[in-house]
Structure 1
Amino acid sequence: MNLIGGSVEIHGHRGARGLRPENTLPGFAHALALGVDAVEFDVGFTADGVPVVNHDQVLSPVNAADTGPAEPGDPAFPYVGRAIRELTLAQFRTLDMGVRRPPDDEDPFVLTQLPLPGTRPPTLDEACALIGAAPGVRLAVELKTDPGWSGAEVERFTVAVAEVLAERGLAARGRVLAFDWRVLVAARRHAPDLGRVALVERKTLVPGTDWLAGLSPAEPANAALEIGATVLSPERHLTTPGFVAAARAVALPVAVWTVNEPAEMDRCVDRGVDAIVTDYPDRLRAVLAARGLPVPAPFRTPVPAPTA
């Protein structure tokens, strides 16, 4: 039995990455139209202090393409390959995020993702406006920092994200996610109403790690509880029955990522996880429905274009 009464939540990863361009307003709208309990997405911080939606700290040619400079003769152009922290919002806005361009044929998403050329990247505020319109759907906002960031930078970024959620009236429906657990410390201090999700993967659970805000990786569930996490979110390879039992022992819900195959979804349900993060919410809905478990209602909304 999991901690939310026998049901398993559906969390759309980067919106619905397997079906629509990741971390975009059309992707979020599609996840909502399918029916999800939460939309997970990633945020970065521009040079002029605006939280924006994108997974990679350094813009990747896999999902970002230059369209032209923000201003004629901009010496920073091209922008792909640069860190978001080096770019202004105006520069970031020029990117086309609607077509996946993998370097080889091994990328599974290019076969299932509908291209939407011309899709611009949104700000956190725009993502909040869209997702926040769906009754009851939570926002799972991953802050993309790493141990190379200073404590002051982490604090400033976390506060900026929390302020956007609060201004939109979404603090009670929002969660901040982080591998860099200093984000969780800052969120607990500045925005205690937000949920705090402790992300872990194999590279962050090694001895001497800088990812866990100085805590030992030996017992991740206990460390997450100590840091003030409200959810523990392991990668799928870590989500063994023993891992789930350890989290259950300290009353921490488990949200496993990223699970895309129905057979593995079934195994995760059998292990008692509370939520499954997936690129294919449609597949997870089918798995849960076949087991007689509840699924969230769809919500359809028009997709506004990002403002300039």
Structure 2
Amino acid sequence: MIGFAHRGSPAPGQRENSLPAFRRALAGGASGLESDVWLAADGVPVLHHDGVFGPPGRRRRIPDLTADRLPGWLPTLAEFYAQLGTSFEFSLDLKGPPGSWADAAAAVVTVAREAGGGEAARRLWLCGGLTDLAKYRPLDDDVRLVNSTSIRDIVTGGGMTAYGDELRAVGVTALNLRAREWTPPRAGIVGVLHDLGIAVFGWDAQRTTTLTRLAGYGLDAVYSDHLRRLVRVTGATRA
């Protein structure tokens, strides 16, 4: 079971999605890291959640600035790999103006390949909707694709088996639902997806009881802000 440290699971006083937070998560035993990525004005992938930084009245947007004009605490993807390596799973949500995500995906894959070749690509999980994931798939056969969705979309799509077939057609590796959507009546969905060769993830898993429940359902990965709880549960699943 992969334990993704959400935004690095920063300690109090640490910036989220920062290199110190990511280092802490890996040192604390997280098997995966999670972040969001934006393209700077010169096409450089940068790790940040909102894409906007600075105090009120002086807010700046990452897409409006070249990478050399960004503050030093804001890591580029290349710096991330250069300092942390590639020996962990890495989940990324692609952010930016509408229509820019495919360009962001291409830039991310290029940096990952340059940093760690096939290993980095195989440990990279790109998250998004089915329409966007279909655009990412031709970029690299090794990169994993994660469909972040909801039960409502699955029901609208004709049920789990039909939706799973669509995931396979796109080349999606995993389906990701919010932790609270994984209820006992839906635990059987895990087996359906596994039979289709699709991994099952749960995000926003914050409580130990929630993490333990998802592990009991057989989920393959969870995302959490709480490093110790995350490692306690996901480490136990590896033992």
Give me the TM-score of the superposition, normalised by structure 1. Answer: 0.66
SS at match of 1:254: strand
- 2:67 aligns to what? 89
The structure carrying a bigger helix percent of its residues is 2
Change (3 A) 1:16 1:125: same
Are 1:172 and 1:194, in contact at CA under 8 Å, matched by a contact in 2?
A: no
Are 1:158 and 1:183, in contact at CA under 8 Å, matched by a contact in 2?
A: no
Provide the C-alpha distance between the structure 2 equivalents of 1:204 and 1:86, rounded to a whole number of angstroms.
34
Q: How many residues align?
A: 231
Superimposed CA distance per residue, residues 133-184 of structure 1 (whole angstroms, 9 cap, x where no aligned partner) = 6xx3122222125xx723xx33322111110000002443332322233442
Q: How does 1:222-241 map to 2 (within 5 A)?
A: 222-239=165-182, 240-241=186-187
- 1:142 aligns to what? 93
Structure 1 gaps of 5+ residues are 1-7, 68-76, 95-118, 208-215, 296-308
* Letter matched to residue 198 of structure 2: L
Change (3 A) 1:34 1:79: same
Change (3 A) 1:172 1:194: farther
**Deviation of the 1:42 alpha carbon:** 1.0
1:65 aligns with 2:63: no
Choose from 206, 216, 223 the match for 1:277: 223
- 1:304 aligns to what? none
- 1:104 aligns to what? none
CA RMSD of aligned residues (A): 2.7
Aligned-pair identity (%)? 26
**Deviation of the 1:41 alpha carbon:** 1.1
- 2:37 aligns to what? 43
SS at match of 1:21: coil
Choose from 79, 101, 114 the match for 1:126: 79
Are 1:10 and 1:284, in contact at CA under 8 Å, matched by a contact in 2?
A: yes
* Letter matched to residue 139 of structure 1: F
Choose from 138, 150, 153 the match for 1:189: 138
Change (3 A) 1:180 1:12: same
Superimposed CA distance per residue, residues 57-85 of structure 1 (whole angstroms, 9 cap, x where no aligned partner) = 4x2xxxx4349xxxxxxxxx8234x4x32
Are 1:206 and 1:217, in contact at CA under 8 Å, matched by a contact in 2?
A: yes
* Letter matched to residue 200 of structure 2: V
* Letter matched to residue 112 of structure 2: L
SS at match of 2:205: coil
